[in-house]
Copies of this chain bind each other. A is one copy, B any other.
């Protein structure tokens, strides 16, 4: 169930049977020579919609912009400052908690979001711990799940791409985005075949180290077919994890 396609009465009914919700969260940032700028939002959204349909879980609208400061030297990247992203995540949780949701499953597509989303969770929990939560907010539980780190996905990525998977603009994520938007498949030469690796700092430093945007990957291996297999693997990862999360008593 997509929240955006429900009426409020349908949400009211849903809350009778579940207080969990999946919130896809991504980023809008360069993904190398053949990857889509929306990759990190498209991937978790696609999986979330699939899972939501299969198990009847509510799926919130995708938070498409994340913390991508390090990609800012590549045109098209949009980033929130970490403090803005904390405000965004906090507001979303507090609004939904007002209606009775209490189990927030953030399905994330961007490694660079992890620290800031975790800090946002701490900010939300701290409101409970310090007595500053919105009036009548009952205890909330937040979980950050990265689709690309699910067990079945990782196994399949390894099988499909081995050492060419890398860390950014990976053939796995590019494949999944191609599966979601087959008309957007791109072709590009990769030079070198496998991109360099290194540490992430600011945008100028990033571009110096990783001139075409990739880290450690060869996304020319990406394909719609691989994407479909990754989609199915990720649905299994996420479905199991989400059910475990929401069925554990609050």
Contact = CB atoms under 8 A, between A and B. Distances in A.
Contacts of A61: 28, 38, 41, 64-65, 78
A192 interface: no
A31 B184 CA distance: 33
Interface in A92-130: 92, 94-96, 98-100, 112, 114-116, 118-120, 122-123, 125-126, 128-130
Contact of A37 (B7, B79, B125, B213): B7
A163 interface: no
Interface in A9-35: 9-12, 15, 28, 30-35
Interface in A185-211: 186, 188, 201-205
Tallying the copies of this chain within the complex gives: 6
Interface size range on A against B: 35 or more
A139 interface: yes
Contact of A95 (B72, B100, B133): B72
Given A7-B31, A92-B78, A98-B72, A83 B123 contact: yes
B79 A95 contact: yes
